Amino acid sequence: MGTETCPSCNNQGPYLAVASGPNGCHETMRACDFCGGLGIVEVAAADRWRRGQALRQLRVHQRNLTQKGLAHILGISPQLLNDIERGRADMPDTVDRRLLKAL
């Protein structure tokens, strides 16, 4: 197993973000949610991230579905679909592949 540049941040390093808290908004430095700021990930993880992004593009731009709506169609939880779209999880084997092809 090899590694490659993180497909989410492209090894850009931490970025400036605005965070909201009990004392109001403030600027903070954030690391990439996918690679944790390392800038590299395993090839399998990068592939999983790209598949998730492709599914999200299909869901949002071509089918105009919410995560809740697509999760219902696929028979999975919205949280699992969110994890799949963000590359944190693979599509479970219990999902009928014909449903995905029909999308």
Domain borders along the chain are 3-102
Q: Give the per-residue pLDDT at 9.
A: 94
CATH of 3-102 given 3.30.1330.40, 3.30.910.20, 1.10.260.40, 3.60.15.10: 1.10.260.40
Q: Give the per-residue pLDDT at 41.
A: 96
Using CA atoms, how far residue 92 sits from 24, 36, 76, in Å, is 40, 24, 9
Q: Give the per-residue pLDDT at 60.
A: 94
> What are the mean pLDDT values of the chain's consecutive 10-residue runs (103 residues total)?
93 91 93 93 96 93 93 93 95 80 70
Q: Give the per-residue pLDDT at 72.
A: 92
**29 touches 16 (CB < 8 A):** yes
- Rounded Cα gap, residues 83 and 65, in angstroms: 16
